[in-house]
Amino acid sequence: MTAQPYASLASIYRYPVKGLTPEPLTDVALAPGQPLPADRRYAIENGPIGFDPAAPQYFPKTQFLMLMRNERLAALRSRYDDASHTLTIQRDGNEVARADLQSAEGRASIEAYFAANFADELRGPPKVLFAEGHSFSDVPRKVVSIINLASVADLEKTIGQPVHPLRFRGNLHVSGWAAWQEFELLERTLKIGDVRLKVVKRIVRCAATNVDPDTAARDLTIPKTLQQTYGHADCGVYAEVITGGRIAAGDRIEVEA
């Protein structure tokens, strides 16, 4: 498969609270060795795990409320405001929670909502976790996740019904690559304006992708379909930012030689 000379950045998303609503961005500043600003900045602990905000460490996603096991999260619509640190949660168009996540009282309010509404799915008291500079990513490395829209479209043909790209909860959606071309880019460098990102890892998909991001229905078997059709359960890649700068939707993406 021959690489095209360039592609484009179709859209940008961040996920301020792990497991909750993606937020579209028109542009964003990336810093070397860091994820998108505020991406997975918070997580909701599902029972005590011993997380220490003074010395934050990676924990697997199974320790938190997340779509792989808690698909009802997709029925919530959340929004995070950076300036006020306020998280707003809606359900069926009605506001059900609003709080400042940087205050103890605010975190307690959000915790109370999940304790009351997700009781059957909790292993212990839910707790909003945060540590300065920490990202609750699915992997230990600080990365940006990239989804090739052509790969999603190819999977869509295989399944025979629409597959929303947001099922894959990526940060950068790319148009212009051939289907599955992202897997040829491991250890290659992507150029987006002044920004350079090194592709470091394929993304192995879990049952979270089976959940429709609009309806919260667990209506597909994407990892199984990937494995049966393509011989792997991967879709998308992780990349590390090696040169920072600002990127915007519509920017040209090139693969450096």
Q: Global pTM?
A: 0.96
The C-alpha atoms of residue 84 and residue 257 are separated, in whole angstroms, by 43
Widest pairwise Cα distance in the chain: 55
Mean pLDDT of all residues in 102-116 = 98
Chain segment 219-256, per-residue pLDDT in tens: 999 999 999 999 999 999 999 999 999 999 999 999 99
For residue 65, give every residue at least 6 positions away whose Cβ sits within 8 Å of its Cβ, in sequence order, or none: 18, 19, 43, 44, 46, 73, 114, 118, 121, 126
The C-alpha atoms of residue 183 and residue 254 are separated, in whole angstroms, by 15
Chain segment 140-192, per-residue pLDDT in tens: 999 999 999 999 999 999 999 999 999 999 999 999 999 999 999 999 999 99
Give the pLDDT score at 3. 47
Going by pLDDT thresholds of 50, 70 and 90, the confidence category of residue 6 is: confident
End-to-end, the C-alpha distance of the chain in Å comes to: 16
For residue 150, give every residue at least 6 positions away whose Cβ sits within 8 Å of its Cβ, in sequence order, or none: 175, 176, 177, 178, 179, 180, 181
The C-alpha atoms of residue 195 and residue 141 are separated, in whole angstroms, by 19
